[in-house]
Each structure stands twice: as structure tokens, then as C-alpha cells.
Structure 1
Amino acid sequence: MVELVEQSAKLQSFIDKWLAVQPQQRVALVFVDGQRHPGHIALAALEQELVAAAYGIREPQVAVAKLNWWAEELSGAVTSGGRHPLTQVIFDDERAHDIAGERWLAPVLAAMAQLEQGTAADFATQIIAAAPLHGALAALETAWWYGAEASPDRAARVAALNHLLYALLRLEQDADRDRLPLPMARLARHGLSRAQLRVPGDARQAAIKAQLDDLLASWRESSRLPGPLSVFRALESRHGQQLAQNAAGASDSLVALQSGQPRTGLGTTIQAWNAARAWRRQMD
């Protein structure tokens, strides 16, 4: 009994880490019942673990070690059921075994491949650089929610856009990293040095505003791409798009981005309800 309680506490700790990054998803959990769909929630928390390993660890060798562990775990989970609390919940569901083994490994391999990436040349290159990891996560998620035949194209694009928005939000903290949230062409156009990224100024504001404009344009384009969104992905995308819109119109866009996290109210509830209704309609 004690062991079961400990396992439940460990599982909840990973779910809490996901919700700490995306607190608006607490509203979505009202419409995605954890008793009926525990794998849906565990998969979202697993995605957060992989993203955190890919972007949140500053020492590449530590990130590689963690990702190698996940590669071994996901490779063996098909037959063993897994050792990690999240993997155990996911592979207790038959749909996990309906997904090809290489699809489970793809996000981990993509995460390792992008660890040494530097700052992208321009916005289009940023999207291309984010595509392998976030596309692999989107393909896995879409297959889980909707089956292997569903297109992950739209989910892949909005996943990349949300990543770039979150990276922009951390502009000051990550100004000394090899991979900057603003592309090189944008830094050059506005004459920005790394030191200037840490302090408010007209040039920094103009560069951030231009980045937000590109993100919003790409978000509008994403609506024309094929494929459904999971409830969690749809809510994340709507939240990110609204945050980008609000920040683009602010006098200090970075402050607006940072203070705009998170906002949950009636609008979030309606968005989550609409996303859940679209999911159920798609499955019917």
C-alpha cells in the first residue's frame, strides 16, 4: 500500500511540473478526465520532461545523459511496460502499443540532435530548426489522440510557435546562451548586442515587436494546415497566440509577455470546452 502511494506521489510530481509551465491546462483537465484518460495526461507530462531536457539544461553532457536515459526507457517500455511513473501509465494503455517504436524514440533523438544548435539566421530558419523536435512530439501526440492516420502538420507548427514564444519570454535570462531567442538578422537590423538584450530600450522593443509580428503571422497560417489538435495543444496554442497579441500592442512587449503568464478565467474555460468538443467530434 505504501509503495502504491509513493508511486502515485511520484506521478503527480511530474504532472505538477507540466502544470507549473502551463497552468491553464488545469482548466482543460475538467474536460479530459484523468480517470478515463490517464495516458493523455501522462503523455503531456512526458513531453514537458523531454522539452525541459532539450532546452532547460545548460550543460550539454548532462542533457545528453538524461536524454539517453529516456531513449533507453522508451525503447524498452514496449515490452517491459517501463520503469518511470509516466511511462508506466502510458504503456498500460493499448494505444501506446499501436504506435510504432520509432515514433516513441523520434523526439528523444531530435532533442539530442539540436543540443548544439546556435542562433538561427532568421525567423524562417528558427521554424525549420524547431521542426524536428516539436514535429516529432506533435506526431506522437496526434497519433495518441487521433490515430496514426491523422495529420500532425498543424500540431507541429503550433508546437514550434509556442516554443519560440516561450523562448522569447526568457530573452533576458538566456542572453548569454549560444542559441538566442531572436535570430541573427533581427539582432543585426536593430543593432543589438547580447548586453542590450538584458535591458529595456527602443531597439530591443522594436526587435521583440518584429518577432511577435512574425509569430502571429505564422499562427494565422497554421490554421490552414491539415490535422487536429489535442485538447492540451489547442489550449496552449490559443493561450500563446493571445499572449503574443497582447504583448505586440504593449509599450514594453517583454514585460507584457512575462506578466501575462498565466491568465485563466471564463475565456480559458470556454476555449478548453471548445477544444474538448472538437476532440470528441473528431473521434466520433
Structure 2
Amino acid sequence: MSDGATQSYIDKWLAVQPQQRIALGFVDERVRDEHVALAAFEQELIASAYGIREPQVAAAKLQWWAEELSGAPASGGRHPLTKQLFASERARRIPASVWIAPVLAAMAQLEQGTSSDFSAQVTAASGLHGALATLETAWWFGLDAPAEAATRVATLSHLVFALSRLELDAERERLPLPMSRLARHSLSRGQLKDDTPARRDAIRAQLTELAAGLKAALALNQPLSTFRGLEGRTALATARGAAKAAEPFAELHRRQSRTGPATALRAWRAARRAGRLG
């Protein structure tokens, strides 16, 4: 079991992805704590990259993480999550460059603006989320395991979540809808906070492309951690369901916090795939 020093970080991860509470029951209890610690660590980096509105403050936080990870193989780390991770032999089998890559990618994207089109948006987001997926795949399955599917699932799942923050992020430099989507539906930045037919159509179009990408990524016969597999399946179901709804933005929010029998089935499938390909 995780101690109090790490539990608050785990709680933050589960607050963002509540469906993962169900996935915990499908992870081998012998390695569950270290897998959960990595997931919570990923969430800390994502929060630093997206959750801090002042770029200078975010850069300082990420610089701290870069120094922490650089010294962790020798010192064991200072942060509770780093300490737990580097107490495992898994951490020492992964090159330092793989540990630091997500931090460097997060720093590189701090000043990114809104992408020109959907393809550019996926490419931009895949820097950070691809680096996290590569680290996670190496942690779960070894350094030789392919990480393309995990990269695509991580990136597209993030973009589904980012779309749910459309109203909150309407004032930020990086919008969750690409410029070409805004132009096609004659939407200005100022109109993104209002529920209009044009905004609904733009959200549906974005969700449809995200769902197609997630379906293709999950179809690849490559390993995904139990958590990543569930995240991808949840994001796919969310994108599909919201795209068909009369009020896609409201449905997007409803589905992201929903758990139940369907979540348990997705978690079981994700765990089965992780075990089969691991």
C-alpha cells in the first residue's frame, strides 16, 4: 500500500481519471504500488505542463523535475514519488534520457500557441505525451517494447480531455480546437464560451477525428499498460458518445466522470491485453 507521502499524488491522478480506481483491481498486487506511482508521476508532469498559467512558474517547476530525475539514479530522489519509483529495479533499467525526455518535451511546449490544423495539433501534443508513453511502456514491458500505440493513445486521450476544458481555456494561447476548425465553423476565440450551433458542430467534428484516431491506435497489436489501455478505451467511448449527442460538450463532461459495468469491462480487457503482450 502507498504511504501518506504518496497518497495525495495518487488521489490527484484518480481525480483526473476516476475510472482508474476500477483498473487498480486488475493490476497484479505485487507490482501495483510501483505502477500506480508511475501513473501519479505522469500526472504531476502533465499538471506542471498544463495546469500552471504562468509560463515562468511552469518552467521553474519543470526545471526542478529535470534536476530531480537527473540525480535520482544516484540519490534515490527527494520527491515521495521519485523515492518510490527509484526504489524499484525497474527505474534503474531505464536510461536517464528516457526519464528526462517528458520534462524536456513539457518545457519545449510551454510557449506553443494554437495549432493550425488537427494533424499539427496531434504532432504538437505527441512530444510530451509520446515521451510519457515511451517511459511507461519501458517501465511495464521493457526497453524493447514498441510504444507507437501507447504514444497515439496517450496523445489523443489528452486531446479529448483538453476539449472538455474548452470554456476554461478559451483565453489561453493554446486552444483545444485547431485554427482550421475554428475557421471552418466561423468561430472566434470569444465565441468558444457560448453554446452555439457552430460550436457544437466544431466540437462534433473534433470528437469524430479523435475517435477515429483512437480506434486505429487501439487496433495496433502493441502493448499498452492496463492504465493506458483503459484510458484509451474510455476516451474512445467518450468521444464517440459525445459526438452523437445533441449537446456534445455537456455529454463530454458527463461521460468523463462516468463509471460502471462498462468501465469494469474495459479495465478487464485492458488488463488482459497488457498481460498477453507483456
TM-score normalised by length of structure 2? 0.97
User: How far off its partner does 1:37 sit?
Assistant: 2.9
Task: Show CA shifts across 1:172-221 (max 9, x none).
Answer: 11000000010001111111111210011011011111101111111122
Q: Which residue of 2 aligns with 1:263?
A: 258
Aligned pairs for 1:1-40 (under 5 A) are 8-40=3-35
Given candidates 231, 236, 244, the residue that maps to 2:231 is 236
269-278 or 183-192, which moves further after superposition? 269-278
Q: Which residue of 1 aligns with 2:249?
A: 254
Cα 1:97/1:38, change in 2 over 3 Å:
same
User: How far off its partner does 1:226 sit?
Assistant: 5.1
AA paired with 2:33?
Answer: P
Aligned pairs for 1:126-165 (under 5 A) are 126-165=121-160
Aligned-partner Cα distance in 2 for 1:154–1:82: 30
AA paired with 1:229?
Answer: L
User: How far off its partner does 1:278 sit?
Assistant: 2.1
Tell me if the contact between 1:154 and 1:228 (Cα under 8 Å) persists in the aligned partners: yes
Q: Which residue of 2 aligns with 1:273?
A: 268
Q: RMSD of aligned C-alpha atoms?
A: 1.4
Tell me if the contact between 1:74 and 1:104 (Cα under 8 Å) persists in the aligned partners: yes
AA paired with 1:202?
Answer: P
Q: Percent identity?
A: 59
Aligned-partner Cα distance in 1 for 2:163–2:242: 11
AA paired with 1:77?
Answer: A
Unaligned runs of 5+ in 2: none
Task: Show CA shifts across 1:75-129 (max 9, x none).
Answer: 1111111111111111111011000010000000000000000000000000110
Aligned length: 278
Given candidates 44, 50, 55, the residue that maps to 1:55 is 50
Given candidates 190, 195, 219, the residue that maps to 2:214 is 219
Aligned-partner Cα distance in 1 for 2:56–2:238: 34
Aligned-partner Cα distance in 2 for 1:221–1:32: 25
Tell me if the contact between 1:153 and 1:226 (Cα under 8 Å) persists in the aligned partners: no
AA paired with 1:155?
Answer: A
Tell me if the contact between 1:152 and 1:227 (Cα under 8 Å) persists in the aligned partners: yes
Q: Which residue of 1 aligns with 2:81?
A: 86
Tell me if the contact between 1:121 and 1:184 (Cα under 8 Å) persists in the aligned partners: yes
Cα 1:35/1:226, change in 2 over 3 Å:
closer
Tell me if the contact between 2:6 and 2:80 (Cα under 8 Å) persists in the aligned partners: yes
Aligned-partner Cα distance in 1 for 2:209–2:6: 38
Tell me if the contact between 1:235 and 1:275 (Cα under 8 Å) persists in the aligned partners: yes
Given candidates 104, 116, 129, the residue that maps to 1:109 is 104
User: How far off its partner does 1:33 sit?
Assistant: 4.3
Tell me if the contact between 1:34 and 1:41 (Cα under 8 Å) persists in the aligned partners: no
Q: Which residue of 1 aligns with 2:180?
A: 185
Report the secondary structure of 2:4's partner residue: helix
Aligned-partner Cα distance in 1 for 2:28–2:21: 11
217-226 or 158-167, which moves further after superposition? 217-226
